[in-house]
Amino acid sequence: MNTCTKVFLRQKAISGGRISLYLDFYPAIRNPHTNRMSRRETLGIYIYASPKNERERQFNSSMLEKAEAIRCRRFEQLLNEQFDFLDKEKLRMDFLAYFKQKCRQKYQKWDCVLRHFEIYCKGMCRFCDLTVDFCKGFRTYLLSAQRQRNNGKGPISHNSAAGYWSTFRALLKMAYQEKYLRENVNDFLEKIEWKEVK
């Protein structure tokens, strides 16, 4: 049985006669910035603990309304993500077939990246295989990859590796935007810096 994450609006008394508003997730969710599981999201919204006049009461009402709108938006986002997660058939789809389809819409460099990626993954890769570590492994591979075009010998240039890696990351972004990936893997991948050519 799959449990859908619930989102609650909570209050916590702080100094200065104020109350801090925050979201409470149950069960915990993964923070996309730290990659850690978390139960709380601080909203940075505060209200008066004991409003003294109509102005302060109206302020509290307005802030509570805004916090509730954020809570609803977070719940909708989580609901969409979790139903995508339950679509296991999509995660088992062939990433290489997707890659080849995108290559037909692009230019020659994409075909070069595809050839290198096929070597790296030994001709088999599903969307669920695209973990951060797996993608980092492809970055390492590119930095010492051998030329594949025109029966060339020797490693590809550093700037070629940088360009190929940039193209691959663009492909990952497309897959995420088209809901084939649960998270934007690019958030955890470092680019390959270009070197100045004399």
Quick one: 23 and 68 in the same domain? yes
- Residue 1, in any domain of the structure: no
Question: Which pLDDT tens digit goes with each residue over 114-154?
Answer: 999 999 999 999 998 999 999 999 999 999 988 876 565 77
Quick one: 20 and 82 in the same domain? yes
Quick one: 162 and 124 in the same domain? yes
Question: Which pLDDT tens digit goes with each residue over 2-47?
Answer: 456 799 999 999 999 999 999 999 988 876 556 578 899 999 999 9
Number of domains in the chain: 2
- Residue 195, in any domain of the structure: no
* Residue range 76-96: mean pLDDT, rounded: 69
Instruction: Please say which residue of 64, 86, 108 terminates a domain.
Output: 86
- Residue 171, in any domain of the structure: yes
CA distance 40 to 25: 6
Kindly write down the DSSP assignment for every residue of 135-195, as one continuous string. Answer: HHHHHHHHTTPBP-GGG--SBPPHHHHHHHHHHHHHHHHHHHHTTSSSS-GGGG-PPPPP-
Quick one: 135 and 73 in the same domain? no
Q: Domain range holding 163? A: 89-188
Answer yes or no: pTM beyond 0.85: no
- pLDDT at residue 57 above 80? yes
Half-sphere exposure (CA, 13 Å, Cβ side) for 142?
28
- Residue 197, in any domain of the structure: no
Q: What is the pLDDT of residue 166?
A: 94
Higher pLDDT, 173 or 34: 173
Q: Is 14 helix (H, G, I), strand (E, B) or coil?
A: strand
Q: What is the pLDDT of residue 86?
A: 40
Quick one: 102 and 30 in the same domain? no
